[in-house]
Amino acid sequence: MGYSLGIDLSTQSVSICVYDIKLLKIVFELSVPYTSLEEMKNSKMNSHTLLIPKNEGQAEQDPYIFLVALDYIFKKLAQNVDMSKILVIQISAQQHGHVYLNQEFSSAVQNLDSSKTLWKNLEPCFSYQGAPIWRSADTKKEASILRDSVGGKKEMITITGSDSPLRFTGAIVKKIADTVSDSYKNTHQIQLLNTFLAAIFSGNNNPDVDWGNAAGTSLMDYQKKTWSDILMNQISSDTPQKFGKLSSPLSKAGNIQEYFVTKYGFSRTCIVGIGTGDNPATKVLADGDLLSLGTSFVYMLNINNTQRDYTGTSNAMYDGLGNAFMIICRTNGALVWDKLRDTYQKNLNDSHQGLINQKGKYPLKIWQIENESVPLSTKIPCTQKNNFEKEYKGIVLSNLGLLALYTEELGVQSKSLSVTGGATKDMEIVQIIANLWNTPVSVLPTIGAALGAALMGGIMLDQDFPLDTVRKNLSIKLIQPENSEQDNITKYKKELKLGISNYLTEE
């Protein structure tokens, strides 16, 4: 056997994980932040927000940076790994992110010139220059149109598994179609970011769309796993032709194309999967509940495909193996912690020491840079008190505590919880999670989505791939809740619930 390569294209970076399928271990991993790339100076993206400056609520990234980052990380990979041993590539990419491609894409992606960069090959192929992402929040009108077209909130949730969230792909596509009609008219294909990468790697210009990322569009009939004609046609009559067919995330897009063989040394027999979104890929790491700590925080739990959250807060998905699960997404995640550090010019060590110094203290501080979905609430300004440690502990507590409160209201009774993401490097944060959920917390590798994608690749190659064994061996550390803190936690949650009450909204 050989290696499975998992690649994750996220909001802030591109990451890879090379997994030895026979020895069941990671042999190489690397994460490259977009801001570390020299080419960022040529991007339309702001290096602080990582967004192209637009109107309030618009959230778009630059496909140029995605393609530059891919070339860069493959070059680094080839310097560290025997590329001929990579048997399969599977893909994870930020959910809801997508690109608009013109008719030139089909020919260009099938005939990549290895003497040029990916960007130079594909630059003429975008009918719309930005790649809208999950932070989009200016689509209230369009989300309502989709919801109303099937008869309202309950019907929308029954059909799609979600209540037409503003950030989901369908509402964003509807807005582009209505407001940038020339660009939309010139759009031959709309590809989710994992599908876009699958097309690039394989040369298959129109790979299938996986069920998990399709569930994040508000355009798929969740139970039937088919596109909804009503919702698709609500955008435009030709929208169904712009999306690919639906399939399992373990489906094959094709074999690696010559560009990557010539330039980086891949074997021509290397298989390319169609991939999935970052949340479905991350869920592959755990059989039970999983909390991913990224720019946003996502709590994931298993369901059957008939279960729905009719409050509209949670979203039904399919994971990277095709299993039904539910996500609860808090938009204001680690990005808020990072912003506070930047404001005070503090680093990660300062933050860690601050949590130690604030041990046993429960300051109440809620800061929401963006409108929030868990719980549904408005932006909340940051009123600085010139006490970094107290403010940082307060924001860590509230960001996680509000998510914990909602899982309680949903009736989640987790006997154990796995966590992944960069923030888990600080065990004080993991201890807070164990205390808030009052359950043992297993710490998984931080390169979660890329590793999840690599495991998907292992299963594509070998149906007997021992996933249960792999999952058991992934845990880096187990943190127990502190029973002595539970009275304080109960009191804090009551204060937190009261503190957020003035900012709650219905939409």
Q: What does the alpha-carbon distance between residue 455 and residue 89 come to, in Å, rounded to a whole number?
A: 10
Give the pLDDT of residue 507. Answer: 61
* Amino acid at the residue 433: I
Positive or negative: CA dihedral 293, 294, 298, 304: negative
Q: What is the DSSP letter of 504?
A: B
The more confidently predicted of residues 376 and 27 is 27
Q: Quick one: tokens of 97?
A: 């992110």
Alpha carbon separation from 448 to 170, 272, 451, 474 (Å, rounded) = 27, 20, 5, 10
What are the pLDDT digits (tens) for 425-465? Answer: 999 999 999 999 999 999 998 888 999 999 999 999 988 89
Average pLDDT value for residue range 404-416:
85
Confidence band of 413 (pLDDT split at 50, 70, 90): confident
Average pLDDT value for residue range 313-319:
94
What are the pLDDT digits (tens) for 107-123? Answer: 999 999 999 999 999 99
Confidence band of 85 (pLDDT split at 50, 70, 90): very high
What are the pLDDT digits (tens) for 1-15? Answer: 799 999 999 999 999
Q: What is the DSSP letter of 41?
A: G
What are the pLDDT digits (tens) for 209-266? Answer: 999 999 999 999 999 999 999 999 999 999 999 999 999 999 999 999 999 999 999 9
For the chain, percent of residues with pLDDT exceeding 70: 100
For residue 247, count other CB atoms closer than 10 A to its CB.
Answer: 18
* Amino acid at the residue 302: N
Give the pLDDT of residue 383. Answer: 77
Q: What does the alpha-carbon distance between residue 459 and residue 321 come to, in Å, rounded to a whole number?
A: 9
The DSSP string of 117-162 is -HHHHHGGGEEES-EE-TT----HHHHHHHHHHTTSHHHHHHHHSS
Domains, the chain, ordered by start: 3-281 (3.30.420.40), 330-443+479-503 (3.30.420.40)
Q: Quick one: tokens of 262?
A: 């010539």
The more confidently predicted of residues 371 and 208 is 208
Average pLDDT value for residue range 132-161:
96
48 contact partners, CB below 8 Å, separation of at least 6: none
Q: What does the alpha-carbon distance between residue 438 and residue 441 come to, in Å, rounded to a whole number?
A: 9
> Which has the closest alpha carbon to 320: 188, 161, 449?
449
Give the pLDDT of residue 506. Answer: 73
Average pLDDT value for residue range 323-347:
92
Distance of CA 24 to the CA centre of its chain: 25
Q: 152 with 172: CB under 8 angstroms? A: no
Q: 475 with 441: CB under 8 angstroms? A: no
Q: pTM for this one?
A: 0.92
Q: What is the DSSP letter of 379?
A: -
What mean pLDDT is reported for the chain? 95
Distance of CA 359 to the CA centre of its chain: 31
What are the pLDDT digits (tens) for 49-71? Answer: 899 999 988 999 999 999 999 99
DSSP lists the bridge partners of residue 61 as: 131
Q: Which residue bears the tokens 């790339």?
A: 37
